[in-house]
Amino acid sequence: MTDPRFERARSPPLEGGQTGERLQKVLAASGLGSRRDCELAIRAGRVRVNGRRVTALPCLVRPGQDLIELDGSIVRAVPDSIARSRYLYLMLNKPRGVISTARDPQGRGNVVGMVQAAIPAGSRVYPVGRLDADSTGLVLLTNDGELAWRLTHPSRGVPKEYLVTLHGRLNPETVEKLRRGLWLAGRAPGDGAKRARIEVLRVLRQRKDRSEGDQSQVAVTLTEGQNREIRRLFARVGLKVRRLERQAIGPLRLGRLPAGRHRALTEAEIAALRRAAGLGPGRHSPPSS
């Protein structure tokens, strides 16, 4: 029997102007990672379509017709209309010490492991954006790669809200500096860097503690995010972050979900998130009970 890889390899990838779906979108819809991760895999030469290595985008494919391989393994790709019916959407209140990746060489607990009981056999989810190990709060996990990409891409400007407790006191000049933006350590004009800035900063409370000194609690909103950006921004103005909790991603709010617990998103929450990302309502699979 002829190996279907060789039969399909005779059919080249779609040329420009032909109807198809973006390769990175198909990979993400198949549960192989976020769309950004899939783009990186393509550019690294890990993906073949009909036997031909793809390293440049855009590349259009026909799920169910074209042979797609990642690292030599066949991808069971399905059309986006079918993939939408299999999407999962979970929210987790991440506790401190848990990392926002699917696995960790050091063996630390991760957010995917914390929601594993809610994921049907044969499915997978991954976190949308990241919180560092010392931060707590809202983590969205899904296998909807298009939504994940849109919620995290700077061009979409989807706001993320945080409650931050600081060691130190803010004055109006410091608040204005943070709103205008600062160059973070190691990045400067001319190397492609952007100024890091806080979109909205509201001082909620300031007090003096006899044993610990001045403390401030602030609400912070970002529409773009760099690695540990909030901590690094406050460090640039001489303030240390003591606690950091993400409370919202766009219209999705953490609410009273206890630390360490997770739940499936409601239909209304999914629809609101997809609207915020500029997508249609979509459909999803209920998590395992």
pLDDT tens-place string over residues 90-149: 999 999 999 987 766 777 889 999 999 998 877 788 899 889 999 999 999 998 888 888
The angle that helices 267-276 and 145-152 make with each other, rounded to 10 degrees, is 50
Q: Do residues 170 and 232 touch, judged by C-beta distance below 8 A?
A: no
For the chain, domain boundaries: 4-83, 87-156+255-289, 159-249
Q: Is 49 helix (H, G, I), strand (E, B) or coil?
A: strand
Cα dihedral 131→136→141→146 (10° resolution):
-40
- Pairing type for strands 68-70 and 73-74 reads antiparallel
CATH class (in words) of the domain with range 87-156+255-289: alpha beta
> For residue range 4-63, what is the model confidence (pLDDT) as tens digits?
443 443 344 444 445 788 898 888 777 777 778 888 899 999 999 998 999 998 899 988
Residue 280 reports pLDDT greater than 50? yes
Distances (CA, A) of 195 to 89, 184, 217: 32, 7, 24
Structure tokens at 106: 């050091």
Residue 201 reports pLDDT greater than 80? yes
pTM for the structure as a whole: 0.71
The yes-or-no answer on residue 37 being catalytic is: no
**How far is residue 165's CA from residue 203's CA, in Å, rounded to a whole number?**
10
Element (H, E) at 262: strand 262-264
Question: CB neighbours of 72 closer than 8 A, spacing ≥ 6?
Answer: none
> For residue range 81-92, what is the model confidence (pLDDT) as tens digits?
555 557 899 999
Q: Please provide the CATH number assigned to the domain covering 4-83.
A: 3.10.290.10
Beta bridge partners of 214: 208
Beta strands in 151-199 (DSSP E): 160-167
Q: Is 54 helix (H, G, I), strand (E, B) or coil?
A: strand
Beta bridge partners of 165: 217, 243
Q: Please provide the CATH number assigned to the domain covering 159-249.
A: 3.30.2350.10
DSSP 120: P
Q: Report the residue count for the chain.
A: 289
Please state the φ and ψ torsions of residue 27, each to the nearest 5 degrees: -60, -45
Cα dihedral 281→284→287→289 (10° resolution):
90
Q: Could you write out the three-class secondary structure of 228-261?
A: CHHHHHHHHCCCEEEEEEEEEECCEECCCCCCCC
Choosing from 132, 134, 191, 214, the catalytic residue is 132
